[in-house]
Structure 1
């Protein structure tokens, strides 16, 4: 039984509807150990016949049998496996992959075998030594002579130990000496028990084989046996084929990327600039949010809620509570009293860590060395006021008071106002007793510190205030409370619950004022603004995606022949798609790294320039921003490569090999 058999092979090409027959009923049998020359003039159908034997041409009539089994040319996966395991190609134009070294050009065929990495390298080096190229393994094809290129092609064809070697005009571009050496190599391959089929139009070349099949006008018009086929070795070598691993595609893609690094670097730079812009605006948004939060937190505690009596019984906004507070406090301070029951209600709310009762006086007077200053708000110190608001001195202890910067200036001077810290001043105001009658209250206090900030004012401790009022026989009932919430996210929820607390008459009894909600609103606006800016910067990412698409289409066009070579070696459409998408992903990955380097430098410059003014790093790149940069770069580059990669995979291997 013949190893390879062709039965009734017919092949035609069509121009519009007109048929041009090329092969007209070919019947041939081939055995291993033969060196068969297919001899004929150009246009006689030799190359077409080789493409059918090699599993590249699928559109013909007839049967191809290998080892007695029909090779179904309608099944693409079966043909891929057949080329991978059984066929090796040697071309007249060498068809080496330019961006791979001599060694890598051989290894590309061995990647589709089960040999280990060390075994693949060892076999490739042995084959290159066999064809006389052991000193050229690190060179690229453009540094080799024509004879050397053909030897690389022979080593690659033999790499996976195929049973059929197809040589299409293997000496057509060689001089006499190289022709002689290549023919000797082909004869040696046949001696090893392989089937060598060489297409040629040279009678002199054909005479070197064991058999000559003459093809003319699409028909066999001669089949001459020159000498017997070589015997098959008793223990033939066998290398198990496999589909191409993904890692092999990644390696090839990376090698092509580095081979054309400077051209690809421009694409990476353009993509990196788009990612950099998005990162910078995101980092700026993070910094502004952090700066605002830092500033507000330094002046007021965003997790503290200030609670007052709701004297209307109706729902009131924070603005309404604040606007009516001073007037109600002066006209009817007794109505602002918060009962112990109200305090207990506040303590029982979820997410509340503590409740501090407090006393606020709407009008008071300070006296120091004959200088008097009137104030509109004296309150007891609470967690709503942060220690950061005290710019000079410290927060008040028993018997001490903190003043505002303006009060200190009026009591002393703009130049020496800081010197009031440690001095004793007199505080006086009018309050009420248990019968709601006015009572004068006064006392001397040591100045503990000077405050700045919206939440900070004139303050003494709650225990000091109670002692002062008790001494004057005035009411010590609390008229506000500070509710401390466990976390910032719960502030608004707790405030809503406080606003909804009802009395026995089902009317609202308390009103809440929060700084946290204001902070959250400001952060929302800043986040929105930074998102909008980042989105605008993201337009550059679309431009980058278009650049990658164009680059990949150019790459497909430039590497058309390479695609044909890889398909002829047995790579699947899937492998070709992965080759181009992985190269595009590498571009995206390196673009993200470059963008991070740029943004790191720019961040340092901006933060250094502005830190002296605001004492804060205004650009803050988070781990989330970094992860986003890599994800968006990879996603954009992958999507951009889909269409070019699909086009590459769908190329006809025969047309691809014929590309210039």
Structure 2
């Protein structure tokens, strides 16, 4: 039985708005190993189409093509890949060597696609190249070789996987007469070595070197002649060790992608630099947002007793007033703390003491009189340990007989020397539920309204009492003081943040300082995200740029893609190589971006430190990893369509591409 048997092979080309063109018509052919067969015919006769069918490059046909007992007409895509890797090798007229790979890499490419180890594939490639007289050319690029040398490299590539069938498409068409004879000698030797060699040629001179000449015209075999030929056995390469055929690994795909990128190094560097601008901007914006937040929190911590946490009752909004269901114009209110609330707060871990507090806002109902001049203030409240010594501008904390005023109110009373009010006696009128509480009080100290610990009240003209002092004033005037805030003393400052979280988890609100900090933090976060979003627009531009360049790369490397498919590359392998290139571009772009961002961070922080004694750009490892990750993600997403397009290229059309 013949090694290659073709029965009733028919092939049609579809033509728009015309009947299908019948290019191969009921071909029957039997070929065997050891033969050197020439298929000759005029252009358009069907000889190249027949070659593509035998080689598995064109699977759209009817009939049977049995190679080594397997009918390729029934092959799945996976079977066809194995066929290209194990049974057939191609030698092309235009050589179709990959320009950016060395001679050694070109020859071993088919084994690379089979995931053979570097050591084994290089040993095999060197053995072939030495037999073909190219031992000194291993590390040269194709453009450094003569035509004959290029064709010998192509022959070595076809033989690397020790196939049973060698298909040569016009193998001498681009060679001079002397080199033609050398190549034909090699092909004769390959046939003598027990392989089936099929040449497609126009040249009768080439055909004369064959032991069988098949003439094809109008899609039919017109003549099949066999001649006595004694091929020289001057060429022999030991059969490749039988190995399980594997698929291209991700690591090998990345290595191929690196080699491809080196060919267009300057272009790829420019692409990486372009994408790095967006990454740099995003990282800097995130770092700026964190720096501002850190600065705000640091300033608050400086002015707050770190072992005190404040709790307030949640604000309630009344929607009706009595049975008439009319809106309550009083607006949002909060209930006072009951003893049960205080007991609940006391159960929080690491809380050693819970103290009551009170704050009251009134608009025009409270006033301070000094030296016959009256000064209204909007808030009076109780003092607590939450105010740190840093808040005290002059004097000291009040006791049960004295009061403390904020700096804003003190400056209204005595703009030239507000500190002189410490120790002075003033008259106070407090308005509570339409009642007025009056008395003379000595000022013990002045505190800074800009301290975040003072909360919202600290930013208003304010007077502060001790809780016991204010409670006694209420009782003396027939009123009951009900706490509307509580201060929790924490055993260690490292537990304060957890206590504040526990306060919120129990359904209470944080203090004015915490609310203010959260509000500022949210505003800064929004501002940061907006700026980051604006900076991220450049990432979209980068994605479009990468998409365009990848499409250009597909066009530039169309022939290369065709060659890779002919020697056993899967669609998945082609996609993986192109996506790997995009991965590397994204990786390099991300690394450049974060490198520049870190450099600008150092420069910027040094300048700000000199001017304001602080830093404002705080990059984190998470931001840096995010920058690299988003760069890789965008690059790979942008590459999917070009990679898919490359994988779908028809190998026949790709090989014809100029």
* TM-score, normalising length: structure 1: 0.78
Once the two structures are superposed, the pairs formed by residues 569-588 of structure 1 within 5 Å of their partners are 569-588=567-586
From 503, 512, 515, the counterpart of 2:513: 515
Q: Does 1:304 align with 2:302?
A: no
In 1, Cα distance between the equivalents of 2:6 and 2:624?
60
Equivalent residue, structure 2, for 1:634: 632
Q: Does 1:455 align with 2:442?
A: no
Equivalent residue, structure 2, for 1:24: 25
Q: Is the 8 A contact 2:401 2:441 kept in 1?
A: no
Q: Which runs of 5 or more structure 1 residues have no equivalent in the other structure?
A: 323-335, 368-372, 433-437, 499-511
Q: What SS does the corresponding residue of 1:135 show, helix, strand or coil? A: helix
Q: What SS does the corresponding residue of 1:275 show, helix, strand or coil? A: helix
Q: Is the 8 A contact 1:364 1:378 kept in 2?
A: no
Q: Is the 8 A contact 2:561 2:646 kept in 1?
A: yes
Equivalent residue, structure 2, for 1:67: 68
Q: CA deviation at 1:276?
A: 2.3
From 588, 595, 598, the counterpart of 1:597: 595
Equivalent residue, structure 2, for 1:504: none
Q: Which runs of 5 or more structure 2 residues have no equivalent in the other structure?
A: 321-327, 361-365, 431-436, 489-495
Q: CA deviation at 1:524?
A: 1.5
In 1, Cα distance between the equivalents of 2:580 and 2:503?
49
What does the per-residue CA deviation read over 1:398-447, in whole Å, with 9 as the maximum and x for residues that have no partner? 99999977899999998997xx9xxx968899999xxxxx99999998x9
Q: CA deviation at 1:243?
A: 2.5
Q: CA deviation at 1:318?
A: 13
Change (3 A) 1:160 1:318: farther
Equivalent residue, structure 2, for 1:564: 562
Once the two structures are superposed, the pairs formed by residues 40-439 of structure 1 within 5 Å of their partners are 40-72=41-73, 75-113=76-114, 115-217=116-218, 218-227=220-229, 236-240=239-243, 241-300=245-304, 304-305=309-310, 343-344=342-343, 346-348=345-347, 354-357=353-356, 382-386=384-388, 388-389=390-391
In 2, Cα distance between the equivalents of 1:306 and 1:576?
63
Of the structure 1 ranges 354-363 and 566-575, higher mean CA displacement relative to structure 2 is found in 354-363
Q: Does 1:531 align with 2:529?
A: yes
Change (3 A) 1:490 1:344: closer
Of the structure 1 ranges 574-583 and 626-635, higher mean CA displacement relative to structure 2 is found in 626-635
Q: CA deviation at 1:461?
A: 12
Equivalent residue, structure 1, for 2:324: none
Q: What SS does the corresponding residue of 1:62 show, helix, strand or coil? A: strand
Once the two structures are superposed, the pairs formed by residues 498-509 of structure 1 within 5 Å of their partners are none
Q: Is the 8 A contact 2:32 2:196 kept in 1?
A: yes
Change (3 A) 1:40 1:523: same
Q: What SS does the corresponding residue of 1:8 show, helix, strand or coil? A: strand
Q: Is the 8 A contact 1:297 1:386 kept in 2?
A: no
Change (3 A) 1:395 1:47: farther
Of the structure 1 ranges 85-94 and 342-351, higher mean CA displacement relative to structure 2 is found in 342-351
In 2, Cα distance between the equivalents of 1:207 and 1:266?
54
What does the per-residue CA deviation read over 1:201-243, in whole Å, with 9 as the maximum and x for residues that have no partner? 2222223233333334432413222226899999954433333
Q: Is the 8 A contact 1:12 1:20 kept in 2?
A: yes
Q: Is the 8 A contact 1:396 1:449 kept in 2?
A: no
What does the per-residue CA deviation read over 1:330-383, in whole Å, with 9 as the maximum and x for residues that have no partner? xxxxxx99897774454247896641356999999999xxxxx99999987644
Output the aligned Cα RMSD.
Answer: 4.7
Equivalent residue, structure 2, for 1:10: 10
Q: Is the 8 A contact 1:2 1:68 kept in 2?
A: no
Q: What SS does the corresponding residue of 1:242 show, helix, strand or coil? A: coil
Q: Is the 8 A contact 2:115 2:247 kept in 1?
A: no
Of the structure 1 ranges 561-570 and 179-188, higher mean CA displacement relative to structure 2 is found in 179-188
In 1, Cα distance between the equivalents of 2:314 and 2:86?
88
Equivalent residue, structure 1, for 2:539: 541
Q: Is the 8 A contact 1:356 1:482 kept in 2?
A: yes
Change (3 A) 1:407 1:70: closer
Q: CA deviation at 1:200?
A: 1.9
What does the per-residue CA deviation read over 1:134-154, in whole Å, with 9 as the maximum and x for residues that have no partner? 222222212222112111111
Q: Is the 8 A contact 1:607 1:619 kept in 2?
A: yes
* TM-score, normalising length: structure 2: 0.78
Change (3 A) 1:296 1:65: same
Q: CA deviation at 1:491?
A: 4.7
Q: CA deviation at 1:625?
A: 2.0
What does the per-residue CA deviation read over 1:438-458, in whole Å, with 9 as the maximum and x for residues that have no partner? 99999998x999896253589
Q: Is the 8 A contact 2:404 2:464 kept in 1?
A: yes
Q: Is the 8 A contact 1:33 1:230 kept in 2?
A: no
Change (3 A) 1:225 1:524: same
Q: Is the 8 A contact 2:311 2:503 kept in 1?
A: no
Change (3 A) 1:354 1:142: farther
Q: CA deviation at 1:567?
A: 0.6
In 2, Cα distance between the equivalents of 1:221 and 1:307?
103
Change (3 A) 1:70 1:278: same
What does the per-residue CA deviation read over 1:265-316, in whole Å, with 9 as the maximum and x for residues that have no partner? 2222222222222222222222222222223333346972266999x99999
In 2, Cα distance between the equivalents of 1:608 and 1:645?
45
Q: What SS does the corresponding residue of 2:649 show, helix, strand or coil? A: coil
In 2, Cα distance between the equivalents of 1:308 and 1:242?
69
For these two proteins, the number of residue pairs brought into alignment is: 617
In 1, Cα distance between the equivalents of 2:344 and 2:622?
41
In 1, Cα distance between the equivalents of 2:516 and 2:450?
19
In 2, Cα distance between the equivalents of 1:391 and 1:124?
85
In 2, Cα distance between the equivalents of 1:235 and 1:148?
22
In 2, Cα distance between the equivalents of 1:101 and 1:253?
14
